[in-house]
Amino acid sequence: MTTLPMNDLEGAIRRTIRDVPDFPKPGILFKDITPVLAQPELMRGITGHFAELYRNAGIDAVVGMESRGFLFGVPLALELNAAFVPARKPGKLPYERVSESYALEYGSATLDMHVDAVKPGQRVLVVDDLIATGGTAVATAKLVERLGGKVVACCFVIELCFLDGRSALAPATVQSLIQY
Ligand code: AMP
């Protein structure tokens, strides 16, 4: 897979993300990644960047959070030859589940995972488009740990540093491509 050099990649993603003020609530500056999805070179670059970081880390599964975590998690799982595991909103997963509730930058939410999605001892990457307060990723990491998995790292395309989600996830390793 050919990828852009890191500086070019970061700049290109930064220029491509669309800022939408006051969505979904007044005061939230929404980082819209749909223009990034429209550019295969950027998607290849993002996948390649995280795959290079974790290629030799013995990753068994990539967990992506509904729904934008799926978009980056599935290609990364393929590239790492790992399982992809969806962490889903309530009412979506058909089989036996574990659940965690958490606070969002806007509102509160619950995520579910199938009880057999992560096996005891498996090494897991958690992937989402963006980390804000870290609540979503902390809940996902708890689901992984309740099933006996080990969270090797949490990866995000975008990090909103002023909300310090990184501290909420400590001591887990946090990787982000673009920081605001
Ligand atoms: P948090 O749990 O506070 O870290 O929020 C992260 C989750 O909410 C991710 O799944 C993001 O997709 C979404 N999110 C939170 N804030 C924003 C934002 N400003 N722009 C886009 N997505 C956001």
- Tens of pLDDT, residue by residue over 148-161, are 999 999 999 999 99
* CA–CA dist 69, 65 (Å, integer): 5
Residue range 30-43: mean pLDDT, rounded: 98
For tokens 């089989």, name the residue. Answer: 95
* Bridge partners, residue 111, by sequence: 100
- In words, the CATH class of domain 6-179 is alpha beta
Q: What are the C-alpha distances in Å from 172 to residues 155, 168, 180?
A: 11, 9, 20
Active-site positions read 68, 105
In the chain, the percentage of residues whose pLDDT exceeds 90 is 92
Q: What is the pLDDT of residues 86-117, one digit of tens each?
A: 999 999 999 999 999 998 766 789 999 999 99
- Give the global pTM: 0.96
Beta-carbon-side half-sphere exposure of residue 176 (alpha carbons within 13 Å) = 21
- Residue 7 or 43, more confident: 43
Residue of 130, 142, 176, 178 best suited for mutating to test ligand 1, as the one with most atoms within 8 Å of CB: 130
Residue range 3-14: mean pLDDT, rounded: 90
Check pocket membership of 68 for ligand 1, CB cut-off 6 A: yes
Residue range 25-46: mean pLDDT, rounded: 97
Q: Are 61 and 122 in contact (CB under 8 A)?
A: yes
Q: What are the C-alpha distances in Å from 161 to residues 43, 135, 165, 174?
A: 23, 14, 7, 12
